[in-house]
Structure 1
Amino acid sequence: MSSTTVEEARRVVLGLGGCLDYEVSWDSSVLADLVAEHRITSADLDATGGPAFAVVTERDLVCSILGFVRADTGGERFVDSSAVLEAFAARVERRTTVGGTCVRAALAMAVLGVPSTVHLVSIDDQVRGLIPPSVRWICSASEDTVDPHVIIQVPPGASVPLADGAVVVARRANRQIYANDPPNRSMLLSPQLGEELTGARVFGVSNFNSMQDEALLRSRLDDLLGHMASLPADALVVFEDAGYHRPALRRLVHELLLPAVDVLSMNEDELQQLVGHPVDLLDPDAVLVALRQLSGVLPERTTLVVHTGHWAAALGAHAERLRPALATANALAGTRYLHGDAFTAEHVAGVRALPRQSRAAELAAALEAASGQGSDAISCAPAAHLDTPTPTTIGLGDTFVGGLVMALADLDPVLA
Structure 2
Amino acid sequence: MRSSATWSGAYQRLAATFPAKAAAARLTMGGFVSCVDARTDLARTGALFSPDAPLQAAALGARLLDRVARGVGGEMLFPWPEGAEWLAENLDLTCSLGGTGAQAAWVLSAIGAPAATSLGDRSAHMLAQLPPGVLVFEGDRLLPSEGLTPRGERQGDIYIFDYSAGVAVAGVVPPRSSRIIVRLADPGLDDDPDFDRHTPKLAATAGAGLISGFHAIPPDDVAAGIERVRALCHSWREQGLGLIHMEMAGYETVEWLESVLDAFAGVVTSIGMSHSELRQLAPGVPPPDAMLALAERLRVSRLCVHADEWAASVTRGDPGEEREALMCGSLLAAARAEAGGPVSTVSVPAAARFEPPPFDASELRDGWHFVAVSTPYIDRPASTLGLGDTFTGGCLMVLGALRKEQAAA
TM-score normalised to structure 2 length = 0.80
Mean alpha-carbon deviation: is it higher for 150-159 or for 138-147?
A: 138-147
Q: 1:171 to 1:111 in 2, by over 3 A?
A: same
Q: 1:383 to 1:255 in 2, by over 3 A?
A: same
Provide the secondary structure at the position in 1 that maps to 2:340: helix
- Please give the residue correspondences for 1:46-65 in structure 2 after superposition, counting only pairs within 5 Å: 57-65=56-64
Between the aligned partners of 1:86 and 1:57, the Cα distance in structure 2 is: 13
Distance 2:107 2:366 in 1: 31
For 1:38 and 1:144, locate their aligned partners in 2 and report how far apart those are by CA, in whole Å: 30
Per-residue deviation, 1:302: 3.8
Determine whether 1:21 maps to 2:37: yes
The residue aligned with 1:156 is 165
Could you tell me which runs of 5 or more consecutive residues in structure 1 were left unpaired when the two chains were aligned.
Answer: 1-7, 40-55, 162-166, 280-285
Report 1:50-199 matches (<5 A): 57-138=56-137, 143-161=152-170, 167-182=171-186, 184-185=187-188, 187-190=190-193, 192-199=195-202
Distance 1:19 1:371, change over 3 A: same
Q: What's the offset of the Cα at 1:326? A: 0.8
Q: Does 1:404 align with 2:395?
A: yes
- Do structure 1's residue 222 and structure 2's residue 219 form an aligned pair? no
Tell which deviates more after alignment, 133-142 or 65-74.
Answer: 133-142
Distance 2:328 2:109 in 1: 14
Identity percentage of aligned residues: 22
- Structure 2 counterpart of 1:157, which letter? G
Tell me the SS of whatever aligns to 1:159. Answer: coil
Amino acid at match of 2:307: T
Displacement after TM superposition at 1:96 (Å): 0.9
Residue 38 and residue 26 in structure 1: after superposition, are their counterparts in 2 closer, same or farther (change >3 A)? closer
- One-letter identity of the residue aligned with 2:41: S
Match of 1:314, SS state, is strand
- Residue equivalent to 1:358: 355
Q: Which stretch has the larger CA shift, 194-203 or 132-141? A: 132-141
Per-residue deviation at 1:189? 5.0
Checking the alignment, whether the CA contact within 8 Å between 2:43 and 2:169 is kept in structure 1 is no
Say if 1:9 and 1:381 are closer, same or farther in 2 by CA, change over 3 A. closer
| CA spacing shift, 1:401–1:89, aligned 2, 3 Å | farther
Q: CA RMSD in A?
A: 3.0
Residue 104 of structure 2 aligns to which amino acid in structure 1? Answer: A
Residue type matched to 1:70 in 2? A
C-alpha separation between the residues in 1 aligned to 2:137 and 2:37?
Answer: 19
- Give the distance between the partners of 2:181 and 2:367, measured in 1 at CA: 34
Aligned twin of 1:328: 328
Comparing both chains, which one has the higher relative contact order based on Cα–Cα distances under 8 Å and sequence gaps of 6 or more?
A: 2
User: Could you tell me whether the CA contact under 8 Å between 1:329 and 1:401 is conserved in 2?
Assistant: yes
Provide closer, same or farther for how the CA distance between residues 195 and 9 of structure 1 changes in structure 2, counting only shifts above 3 A: farther
Asked if 2 retains the 8 angstrom alpha-carbon contact of 1:303 and 1:319, the reply is no
Pair 1:59–1:367, CA change in 2 (3 A): same
Matched residue SS, 2:179: strand
Q: CA deviation at 1:108?
A: 0.5
TM-superposed deviation, 1:203: 0.4
Q: In 1, are the aligned partners of 2:70 and 2:175 still within 8 Å (CA)?
A: no
CA apart distance, 1:298: 2.5
Corresponding residue SS for 1:17: coil
Q: Cα deviation per residue 1:210-260 (whole Å; 9 max; x = unaligned)?
A: 0131x5222222222222233233421011000024553222211111311
Q: Secondary structure at the match of 2:308?
A: coil
> Residues 246 and 89 from structure 1, CA distance in 2 versus in 1: closer, same or farther, beyond 3 angstroms?
farther
Shift of 1:89: 4.3
Change (3 A) 1:373 1:276: closer
CA distance in 2, matches of 1:145, 1:207: 19
Whichever residue aligns with residue 16 of structure 1, its letter is F
* Cα separation, 2, equivalents of 1:142 and 1:32: 34
Q: 1:274 and 1:76 mapped to 2: Cα distance?
A: 16
Tell me, yes or no, if the aligned pair for 2:49 and 2:61 is still in contact at 8 Å. Answer: no
- Measure, in 1, the Cα distance between the counterparts of 2:48 and 2:72: 20
Cα distance in 2 for residues equivalent to 1:88 and 1:298: 40
Q: Relative to structure 1, is the Cα distance of residues 374 and 303 closer, same or farther in structure 2, using a 3 angstrom cutoff? A: farther
1:255 equivalent to 2:253? Answer no
In 1, the alpha carbon distance for the partners of 2:123 and 2:45 equals: 33
How far off its partner does 1:407 sit?
A: 1.3
Map of 1:12 onto structure 2: 28
How far did 1:197 drift?
2.7
Shifted more, 58-67 versus 246-255: the winner is 246-255
What secondary structure does 1:230 align onto? helix
Q: 1:287 to 1:186 in 2, by over 3 A?
A: closer
Count of residues in correspondence between the two structures: 364
- In 2 relative to 1, CA 27–98 (structure 1 residues): closer, same or farther, beyond 3 Å? same
The 10-residue stretch of structure 1 (72-81 or 288-297) with the greater mean CA deviation from structure 2 = 288-297
2:282 aligned residue: 275
| TM-score, normalisation: structure 1 | 0.78
Measure how far apart 1:73 and its partner are.
0.8
The one-letter code of the counterpart of 1:15 is G
| C-alpha spacing 1:38/1:260, structure 2 compared with 1 (3 Å) | same
